[in-house]
Amino acid sequence: MPIIHAKTALTIGLSTTLAAIALAATACSSDDDVEAPPSTLGGITIASRERAAGQDWYYVSGWFRNGTQDSGCTSHREGNCTISTCAPSAADAGVATLDSAGTLTVSGGLLPAPGITLEPRDDKSYFRQGLSKIWEPGQRIAIKSSGAQIPAFELSVTAPSNLVLEVPAVPHDDAPMVIPRGTPLELRWSAVPDKKSVAFYSPVDIPPGAPSIGASCEFEPSSTTATLPTSVLGLFPKGEAIFEVVTRNEATTLIAGKTVKFHARTYAKGTSGTSVSRNVTLE
């Protein structure tokens, strides 16, 4: 699927856009050294973020593609990172169409029984958000589909831990944050028993004719430090980008020989208490 963009401020709207970008990037076609069977049929992400002053927010987002059109995207590996590049416009990339999995029900954690439900939207994608805390780390979160064009399935994951990003320093709220592209980016975070993902994405507003770029870098549960090389940072032009750090757990199932993924994500916070899902300036 092509990366999705929307004009939005750095609030709930930004995180919604990030969800769409992250999901779309996993569906991009890949070079031979990245893509390995089975290919991805679709994915559901449920994410938790503490916004400010203890205000918790969550979203659930999902899609299932029918595979009838090319996404217009390619991917390659740079160390721990997957780099996805998508064509400058929907006209160049084509518009990939989606299939419905029927009603999705998310339950477990702190969600009241019997859970929350999502119906497919007009384009057959899924999205729901709310202002509440939905889990404590370690609780089980389950998803069940009623089935439609995509057959019924069930998956569950463990809610990931709360991560504190210690380096680089993340300033309070919307204060400027600058990241050099010409030197490796050193990261240090608190010890938690979950995978970590560090990502950069093209800005929400992309200049006409420019491609959309996403870099998602995965690190093991045991890691407390990481380095993003200049070969990754240098792929992005100078100027605004989106930066996020999350802990994540994942479960998968096979449908017709293709993978459906269920991601649970918790946005990290800096030592200032600010969520690490924000605009930054790359220099």
Q: What is the pLDDT of residues 107-162, one digit of tens each?
A: 999 999 999 999 999 999 999 999 999 999 999 999 999 999 999 999 999 999 99
Q: What is the pLDDT of residue 70?
A: 57
Q: Report the C-alpha gap between 105 and 215 in whole angstroms.
A: 30
Instruction: Encode pLDDT of 16-30 as tens digits.
Output: 444 444 444 444 433
Residue 21: φ, ψ to 5°: -65, -45
Q: What is the pLDDT of residue 75?
A: 84
Greatest mean pLDDT among 24-38, 86-100, 143-157 lies in 143-157
pTM greater than 0.85 (yes/no): no
- Residues 6 or more apart whose Cβ sits within 8 Å of residue 198: 187, 216, 217, 219, 226, 228, 244, 245
Q: What is the pLDDT of residue 3?
A: 32
Average pLDDT over residues 74-102: 77
Q: Please report which confidence band the pLDDT of residue 246 belongs to, taking 50, 70 and 90 as the band edges.
A: very high
Q: Report the C-alpha gap between 283 and 281 in whole angstroms.
A: 6
pLDDT surpasses 60 at 15: no
Q: Please report which confidence band the pLDDT of residue 174 belongs to, taking 50, 70 and 90 as the band edges.
A: confident
Q: Please report which confidence band the pLDDT of residue 175 belongs to, taking 50, 70 and 90 as the band edges.
A: confident
* pLDDT: which is higher, 15 or 107: 107
Mean pLDDT score across all residues of the chain? 83
